[in-house]
């Protein structure tokens, strides 16, 4: 397994650096571009939630991202020292229509739909979120 880590200040303008890390790791893992994008979207949503809801403001803490790659599989660990919050519990989707979509509040739903596994635990004073994605086998024509 290949491992890479990056720590950023908890600022919205820094999230892209973690997305680049995730995109590079997805390429190393051999994930296709659609799967890579899904991983980057989920990680971006998680980081934004950490900054906006965990820390409550920008520059209140840091986020450390660690990627672990294996052929066809990407794992992203996000750690922060915001107050405890468990995003590992899959939210129930509320009903909404195209004429009346919700404003915000879909981040956890996006994370759970984009990733195969979402796990959370608290280690000392740190939130530890693990996101895992596996490349789905390509559809074959029959």
Closest CA to 42 of 8, 101, 87: 87
Which H helix or E strand runs over 49? helix 33-49
Q: Consecutive sets of 10 residues in the chain, 142 residues long: mean pLDDT of each? A: 93 98 97 96 96 94 97 97 83 61 70 94 96 80 49
Domains and CATH numbers, the chain: 2-93+103-134 (3.30.565.10)
Q: How many CA atoms lie within 13 A of 66 on its CB side?
A: 10
Rounded CA gap, 122 and 128, in Å?
Answer: 6
């Amino acid at each position: 397994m290949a491992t890479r880590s990056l720590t950023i200040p908890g600022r919205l303008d820094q999230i892209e650096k973690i997305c680049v890390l995730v995109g590079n790791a997805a390429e190393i893992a051999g994930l296709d571009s659609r799967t890579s994008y899904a991983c980057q979207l989920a990680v971006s949503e998680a980081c934004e939630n950490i900054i906006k809801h965990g820390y409550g403001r920008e520059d209140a803490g840091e986020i450390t991202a660690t990627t672990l790659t294996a052929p066809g599989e990407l794992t992203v660990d996000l750690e922060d020292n915001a107050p405890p919050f468990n995003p590992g519990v899959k939210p129930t989707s509320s009903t909404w229509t195209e004429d009346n979509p919700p404003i915000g509040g879909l981040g956890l739903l996006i994370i759970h739909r984009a990733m195969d596994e979402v796990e959370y635990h608290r280690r000392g004073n740190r939130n530890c979120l693990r996101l895992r994605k596996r490349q789905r086998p390509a559809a074959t024509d029959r």
